[in-house]
Structure 1
């Protein structure tokens, strides 16, 4: 394994997931930010407005907005449009609730030099190991 392509954080739930990363450096609002029926980002002006989080590895600095954030992201899972996993720069209670309820892999709380929002690019194909606290970039996006 190429060590430049491995990030180590805190194991935060779930086992293993692989998928294409969607990196939202400014996070996503819960209320009016995501459609729980479709998993599509609806936040006005968001750089990924109109794109789906379904089966993606969602890379965020943490949650943003009200305490209902976890309800919206968990709602996507309930409706079959949730993420494959989460990679969070810092875990907070809203993210933790969504991760635990959805039962998906998550790694969080990375050292400053391994900020996943800076190290991972949208479109990278990544593996999240929620038991070992490891995120591996398996394939870099051509766009990056």
Structure 2
């Protein structure tokens, strides 16, 4: 089954991958750049890899330097998420996503958050303002 949801483009591009939801705010500096595994203690995604995933999270956290450097380190090692879906974007993450050419969207239809589940295949087309979900 395939469902399409509307969203707002922050950083252009199109990417797809398995979706991974984080209920906790996210700091890219607390991810091992070699593996893409979240190393932040007590984070809901601790021990899981964000590499190649479409990462859904509420907010960024941490200083601007650690956020930008964290995403940069992941990109340089090829362990970055394919796309970012964020509820509350901040200027640091917006600038980082644009510079790293990572598609990023917000203002997603509320139904997306109940329709999609970890492991579903998701395509983010920021340019068209759509997220397509294919349930596993």
What is the TM-score of this pair, normalised by structure 1?
0.81
Q: Give the C-alpha shift of residue 104 in structure 1.
A: 1.9
1:12-44 deviation line (CA, Å, top 9, x unaligned)? 22321110011001122344x212232210011
In 2, the alpha carbon distance for the partners of 1:74 and 1:109 equals 25
Consecutive unaligned residues in structure 1, runs of 5 or more: none
Question: How many residues end up aligned between the 2 structures?
Answer: 135
Q: How does 1:65-144 map to 2 (within 5 A)?
A: 65-67=62-64, 68-110=66-108, 114=110, 117-139=113-135, 141=136
Q: Which has the higher contact order (CA 8 A, sep 6+)?
A: 2
In 1, the alpha carbon distance for the partners of 2:24 and 2:115 equals 15
What is the TM-score of this pair, normalised by structure 2?
0.85
In 2, the alpha carbon distance for the partners of 1:61 and 1:118 equals 15
Of the candidates 31, 34, 43, which is equivalent to residue 31 of structure 2?
Answer: 34
Tell whether the 8 Å contact from 1:128 to 1:136 is kept in structure 2 after alignment.
Answer: yes
Consecutive unaligned residues in structure 2, runs of 5 or more: none
Do the aligned partners of residues 115 and 45 (structure 1) sit closer, same or farther apart at CA in structure 2, a change above 3 Å counting?
A: farther
Partner of 1:12: 10
Tell whether the 8 Å contact from 1:58 to 1:87 is kept in structure 2 after alignment.
Answer: yes
